[in-house]
Structures are given as C-alpha cells and as structure tokens.
Amino acid sequence: MDGRFLVDRVFTVIVVVVAIIAILPVFHIIAYITWRGLPIVIDNGLSFFTDVPAAVVAEKPGGIAPALAGTAFMTITATLIAVPLATLAAIFSVEYPNHVLTKAVRVTSRSLLEVATILIGMLIFVLLVLPTGRFTALAGSLALAIVMIPYVYTYAELALLSVPKTYIEAAYALGMKKAQVIFYVTVRVARRGLARGIAIAVTKAMGETAPLLFTAFGARSVIFGGPLEPADALPLMVFQFIQTGYDNWRALAWGGAFTLLVLYLSFFILARLLVKEVRY
C-alpha cells in the first residue's frame, strides 16, 4: 500500500472521529431535553400551550402560555427593530467602506458581539425601566434588539461583500440607479446569507435570559398584559422554574425547554427551505 494513501486514510479517520466527538454534546443535549420534556408536553396536551402555570400543589402543572406569548411578542418586536437597522447599516458599510461612519459602525458591532448580554439588560434598565418605574415587554424587546443587531450586521455585511462585482457592474451598465442596484441585485443575490444572519440572531434572542431579568422581569398570572406591562419568556421561565423544588414547576421548565428547542430547529429549517441559494 502506498504510504501517501495510508497517511490520507489515517488523517481522514482522525478528522471524522474528531468531528463526531465535537457534535456529540449537541446531540446529547437535544436527546436529553427531548427525553425529559416531550413526555410533559404529551401528558398535558394542548392545555400545555394555552394555560397559565398551575399552583405548586395542583394535580397538573398547567401550561406555558404566558412564556410562549411573551417570547413571541418580544422576539417579533426585536426582529422588526433590529433587522432593518442592521441591514441598512451593512449596506451603507459595503457601499461606503472608507466612510468614518462605517468604521464606527464596524467597531461598535464587533464590540457588541463581545459584550455580556446582561450588561445590555442593565443598560435598558437604567435608560428605560428606572425612569418609567416599571418592567415592560417593550423594554425586553429593545434589549433583545440590541443583542440581535451585531449578528444581523455581521452576516449581512459578509453576504453583501460576497456578491460578484460583475453583477453590480452589469446592473449599472443597464442604466440602473444605485438604489435599484442595491435592492434589486445586491440584496437579492445575498439573500441566503442575509437569511442566515437573521435566523441566528432570532434564535439568539429567543434563548436570551439575562437581559430579560432587568427588563421584562416575568408575569405568569396572565398570558399577555400588553407591551407596557411585565411579560414572561420561555428561557426566563425555564431558568427560574428549574431552580425550584416544586415538581410542577420543574415539569414546566422541561416542557418549556423542549418547546424552545423545537422552535429553534423549526426556524432554521424553515429559513433554509424558504431562501434558495443563488449560484454564480
């Protein structure tokens, strides 16, 4: 057997083994959450998603409706705030790479990626919660929007920079204006990368707990009181309930963790199916 062939085979086996070892923890987490959470969801049926948490001494644990509604509202609102701002900032950075504002935006974006999200929650707490004297779903949405912005911006910028220059030059040659080239050519060609950044940012926001401790705080007696009232969220409920010694609340925590996992996977799969890849 040729020595080079043997080395190639050995190296291939090593790479495969290392890759399996790297992804095993992910599959272990998915399997364990499914094992603990799925039976809770099945036992309670539809009421698990429509009821409020029951008392700790109740026969059944109740449901996660307040956390589900709060997560939906705050994630959607944060997305509506973060995606347009970050995408427009990325477009500006790509079109005017040497502008002083572009340099400031890039530095700020990279800095936000490294900032602990709990600090973002504390910032909104000081700027919004303390002056108004109340925790609100809107404050939670703003905190999550700040968390999302650097992720959307980074992926959007990379996607826009990957668009072949020949496409852009051809569009200008056809007499298209700058705005038309950006939105009808550059953005459309880069849409898969844009969707990937949005998907990562949304799932990041859905799983955040720390910023919501200082902003939305949590409210479990009502499903959703409005944007100017405290609100619950799935990661917040899981974080608080799993630490208790009450079986009902711990069951809700496992069921909520499984629900959050399903939302994660569903969102990524849906984003991949809806946005087709552009081949050059």
Residue 62 forms beta bridges with which residues? 53
pLDDT at residue 219, as a whole number: 85
CB distance 246 to 173 below 8 Å: no
Model confidence band, residue 275 (pLDDT cutoffs 50, 70, 90): low
Count CB atoms within 10 A of the CB of residue 170: 13
Nearest to 82 by CA among 214, 232, 197, 236: 197
Note the helical H segments in the chain: 3-44, 47-50, 65-95, 100-114, 117-124, 130-132, 137-161, 165-173, 178-181, 187-189, 191-206, 210-213, 234-241, 247-274
Rounded average pLDDT over 83-108: 90
pLDDT at residue 222, as a whole number: 87
pLDDT above 60 (res 1) = no
CB distance 240 to 251 below 8 Å: no
Q: Which residue has the higher pLDDT, 10 or 125?
A: 125
Q: Which residue has the higher pLDDT, 178 or 36?
A: 36
d(CA 213, CA 129): 11
Count CB atoms within 10 A of the CB of residue 150: 22
Nearest to 127 by CA among 116, 138, 113: 138
Percent of the chain with pLDDT over 70: 97
Return the DSSP state at 208: -
CB distance 66 to 222 below 8 Å: yes
Residue-averaged pLDDT of the chain: 89
Residue 53 has φ and ψ, to the nearest 5°, of -60, 135
This prediction has a pTM of 0.89
pLDDT at residue 81, as a whole number: 95
Work out the end-to-end distance of the chain between its first and last CA atoms, rounded to an integer number of angstroms: 41
**DSSP per residue, 64-91:** -HHHHHHHHHHHHHHHHHHHHHHHHHHH
pLDDT above 70 (res 100) = yes
Domain boundaries in the chain? 65-274
Taking only the tens place, the pLDDT of each residue in 187-211 is 888 888 888 889 889 989 999 999 9
Model confidence band, residue 185 (pLDDT cutoffs 50, 70, 90): confident
pLDDT at residue 124, as a whole number: 95
pLDDT at residue 279, as a whole number: 56
Q: Which residue has the higher pLDDT, 70 or 244?
A: 70
CATH of domain 65-274: 1.10.3720.10
Rounded average pLDDT over 2-22: 83
In terms of C-beta density within 10 A (0-12 exposed, 13-18 middle, 19 or more buried), how is residue 255 classed? buried
d(CA 44, CA 46): 7
Taking only the tens place, the pLDDT of each residue in 128-171 is 999 999 999 999 999 999 999 999 999 999 999 988 888 888 88
Q: What is the dihedral of CA 236, 239, 243, 244, to 10 degrees?
A: 30
d(CA 270, CA 272): 5
